[in-house]
Structure 1
Amino acid sequence: MVLTDAKTLPEDPIDSAHSLPLIPLPAHVRPAEGHLLLPSLEVEGDPATVALMREDLRRLAGTAGPEAAHAAGNVVLALTDDASTGPEGYILDTRDDGIRITARDSAGLYYGTRTLLQLLRRTDEGWSVPRILIEDAPRFAYRGVMLDVARHFFSVSEVKAYIDRAVALKFNHLHLHLTDDQGWRIQIDAWPLLTERASAGDAGEGPGGFFTKDDYRHIVEYAADRHMTVVPEIDLPGHTHAVGVAYPDLVEEPWITDQLVAEAERLAQPVPVHGEHFSGWAVGHSSLRIGEERTYDFVKDVLDEVAAMTPGPYLHIGGDECLGTSPADFAVFMTRATHLVGETGKTPIAWHEAGAVHDIAEGTVGQYWGSVVPQGSHAEEATRFVTGGGGLILSPSDRTYLDMKPDAEFPLGLDWAGIVPLRTAYDWDPADVVAGVAESAILGVEAPLWTETVESLEDADALVFPRLTAHAETAWSPREGADRTWESYLSRLTALAPALRTSGIDVTLPADEG
């Protein structure tokens, strides 16, 4: 996805970022007078970044300019030893006769090109870009999106398209929720029945599916080329009904409550049956057999194989909504599982409930999914990851969960965490969620998309946009500044919306603005 369109920017003087189509908001924007007009764009510099930029320009204009090595580029992408930009930061300068982007690292250079693509416009005379100096770097190192491929499966090409949407907004982590009650989506050689029996079907009437190891490696490589780290999740010890479809001896009988039965009746969905595919949406009813040693042989084999094909530093092991698991059993399991992750050389990530366990592996990262105002013991559980040296990823469900309905009448999505319109998604700050946790202990922000109601990439786009742009700004941009406001964000989103629509995303703005 390349965010530009055929409209020319106005020639009025630009005195701030307020009227520019820039999301996320850069740290420093210094507009100059007028626009730079270039008949063609000829890119030179860092080979890997140049190749990606030429690919983007090819999609826009059918050509990427001269390929000859001796051609003098009017778009220069240069790595530099200048430490002023910081990790992933860049400087974009269009004030002279060409466009120059500099950065300390290739990730920063790539993000500079994402900003340039938002600014570029095609005209009858060539390419137009405002004369401007941007000095930029991210607020948080971890800027994530999550895609649930377990409830409804997404193909390799669809996952790549989701990556394209995310990196255009400078997200740098893709959390893949690979396993859940409704399906197992990753090939494991040591336990072949997981994909032979437990990958068929989904949270509906679809056929399901799974990634072969080659499929998964292709996704990882595609993401890495665009400076995105894949974070695989094997959800344990709950959300494991599908494991029992393949290996019934590993999973307890479903924990059926009156509430679960009533909810299934309300939704006209089945209740879970041990060893049979489950297509309903109920949670909390499944658990691995925590007292069986064979369970840990299974967990170790799965984690070892997933870690071996994942170059990134993280391995997510779930730990959420284990409603039918006793606290004592949960503690036993999460302690062993986090240490098994450590033995693979990866850093474990777990949902915040695992913070109730005192003996989880040192350095385990917590992912907080409670409300933006913590309820019950959620803040205490989240804080334990910080005291254990692991830090936090913030995903408050009533702000960042992209599967929550943006309005009550929206045909897709759920509402158990509340209705989340665009302004609600924008108006929160990660540093304010868990009292007493310093910003330095927050790795960053992740926006999850759970897929109970999402069956296609088009469905995903309808729920994700425009709210994903709000989360991109929260994760990247400074907390404060003249243009770090709802009014400025909405103005910039309105300016960016035509490009989103041109890229195939039918984005709707609040009150039909723009």
Structure 2
Amino acid sequence: MVLPDPLPLVPVPRSAIAEAGRMPLTGETRILGDAAAAPHLIDGIARRTGIRPSSATDEPRAGDVLLRLDPAAGPAEGYRLRVGDVAEVIGADAAGLFYGTQTLLQLLRERDEGWGWQHVRIEDAPRFAYRGMMLDVARHFFPVDEVKTIIDRAAALKLNHLHLHLSDDQGWRLHIDSWPLLSEKSSVTSANGDAGGCYSKDDYRAIVAHAASRHITIVPEIDLPGHTHAIGLAYREIVEEPVMNDHLLSDATRLGHALPVAGEPYIGWGVGHFSVRIREERTWDFVRDVLTEIAELTPGPYLHIGGDESLGTSEADFAYFMERATALVTELGKSPVAWHEAGAVEGIAEGTVGQYWGLTSPDGAHAAQAAHFVARGGRLILSPADAVYLDMKYDEAFPLGLSWAGVVDVHAASDWEPGELLPVPEESILGIEAPLWTETVRSLDDADRLTHPRLAAVAELAWTAADAAERNSESLRHRIGRQAPLWQSDGIRYHPTPEIPWSTR
């Protein structure tokens, strides 16, 4: 019997063997087993097919799906999946079981005879522990329901961290009890003069809870000591006057944006003008209070403190700030995360995680900065801008995004090897994160067009072993193309880039 085409899975599993035969999905199909994973699978099947399986608690019969946990099924987040007369997903833990159900949803296909699953045997587990996406809610504010939708999109690709960029020059996005004017005065605008917004603490808790139900950890970021103009709208006494040097003035001319004015909302995109007053103890009251409240709200281990593009800050002041801020995060019981520039600071707290956002051909200074985190007992998150920055254009004619790091098509997003990017051992790489900066994003549809399909390529790099047989550009293009019906059923307004052979079934 002739077997079908390669399995339509992204990320491609560690081991996947297609077998002859097919298990149909019918109105009689039932979902048995794990009560936490079953509702996600039932809802996903119903969205995709219009058929809503029932749940059951007795023994499985032909055509049923059985979900169960077994620590012997693999390492953390791993799973085994077999489809025969019965479909069985076995998770090594709750996350692994959830990821197995996402694979089962990708395998669900319609043929002339109806919906069903190819007979298959899969054993799977992730390459990296940290598989992330960053959402910039400071330049464009996303309401809670839209953040939840983005969480669902990320989880379907087996990503497990969402980094929320909660503050920037254009806006502040989380209520802080001890500094209440941030909500009132610092959150009212976004880039381009769009409406702003601010999450209440209950909003933030709802985001954290929704993410946890999809096995995603929230990583909050307050970007310090630069990118802090919005803070000065509420508390001008702790923010320096905007810096105006030749580089920043020429950049404003290039962008066609007005220069920032202290105490007035800034809706342009220029960076490096701003800083908190690093040597003032009132500033440290602010930093301590804000980080303490966010740490109390956040069950995950990470607290991101920024550290990028502090172009108007002296080297000595920047070092003083990052040493003191990373130590403070450590005292709060969290692991500090900082952009790679903080790796230039000799005394950053031991264990600080560095996030590299340079290019896939790093210059010596950036590579050394990243390596310093490892020397201090930390690890690295890889976010090379010319490969995984989702705000870069697909091509020069694409209407959304920027191109300062080049254009990033699906090939560029997938055609690099994380283990070879920086001069550090692979075990020091915590994982990969794809940032979506939102200077040009004005809706969820805009976000979808920038994230999909490139986020799928990044997810495969983060999940799949480097030597997996199907992890190659040609295979990936075809497997991404076969996600189109599933993405359409989930309402994803993906960009139909011509480099992908898109499927209708």
What is the TM-score of this pair, normalised by structure 1?
A: 0.94
Cα deviation for residue 248 of structure 1 reads 0.4
Tell whether 2:87 aligns with 1:78: no
Kindly state the Cα deviation for residue 267 of structure 1 after the two structures are TM-superposed: 3.0
Q: Which residue of 2 aligns with 1:297?
A: 285
Q: Distance in 1 between matches of 2:359 and 2:90?
A: 39
* Distance in 1 of aligned mates of 2:500 and 2:435: 25
Secondary structure in 1 matching 2:46: helix
Change (3 A) 1:293 1:306: same
The one-letter code matched in structure 2 to 1:92 is L
Give the letter aligned to residue 85 of structure 1.
G
Find the residue that maps to 1:204 and give its secondary structure. helix
The residue aligned with 2:488 is 501
- What residue is the counterpart of 1:28 in the other structure? 15
The 3-state SS of whatever aligns with 2:40 is: helix
Secondary structure (helix, strand or coil) at the match of 1:29 reads strand
**Counterpart Cα distance in 2 of 1:419 and 1:218:** 35
Match of 1:158 among 134, 146, 159: 146
Q: Does 1:87 align with 2:99?
A: no
Aligned partner of 2:296 in structure 1 is: 308
Identity of aligned residues (%): 55
Kindly tell me: are residues 58 and 37 of structure 1, through their superposed partners in 2, closer, same or farther at Cα, counting changes over 3 Å? closer
Report the 3-state secondary structure (helix = DSSP H, G, I; strand = E; otherwise coil) of the residue aligned with 1:196: helix
1:90-489, aligned counterparts within 5 Å?
A: 90-94=79-83, 96-122=84-110, 127-435=115-423, 437-489=424-476
Cα distance change on mapping 1:127 and 1:498 into 2, 3 Å: closer
What displacement does 1:259 show? 3.0
Residue 483 of structure 2 aligns to a residue in which SS?
helix
Aligned partner of residue 37 in structure 2, secondary structure: helix
* Paired residues, number: 498
**Aligned to 1:510, what secondary structure does the other structure show?**
coil
Displacement, 1:125? 5.4
Q: In the aligned structure 2, how far is the partner of 1:38 from the partner of 1:155?
A: 36
For residues 316-371 of structure 1, give each alpha carbon's deviation from its aligned partner in whole angstroms, at most 9, with x where no partner exists.
Answer: 00000000001100011001100111111111000011111111111100000011
CA distance in 1, matches of 2:148, 2:489: 19
Q: Which SS does the other structure have where 2:440 is aligned?
A: coil
Q: Give, in whole Å, the separation in 2 of the partners of 1:42 and 1:502.
A: 21
Structure 2: tracts of 5 or more residues without a match: none
Listed one character per residue, the Cα deviations across residues 59-94 of structure 1 (whole Å, up to 9, x for unaligned) are 334553334544746111110131x51110100101
In the aligned structure 1, how far is the partner of 2:246 from the partner of 2:338? 28
**Kept in 2: contact 1:39–1:125 (CA 8 A):** no
Show the counterpart of 2:501. Answer: 513
5+ residue gaps, structure 1, are 1-10
RMSD (Å) for aligned C-alpha atoms: 1.6
CA deviation string 1:395-426 (max 9, x = no partner): 00111100011101111111111111111111
Q: CA deviation at 1:258?
A: 2.7
Instruction: Pick closer, same or farther for the CA change 1:288–1:77 going to 2, 3 Å.
Output: same
After superposition, the Cα gap between the structure-2 partners of 1:464 and 1:295, relative to the gap in structure 1 and judged at 3 Å, is same
In the alignment, is the contact (CA less than 8 A) between 2:477 and 2:500 conserved in 1? no
TM-score (norm: length of structure 2): 0.95
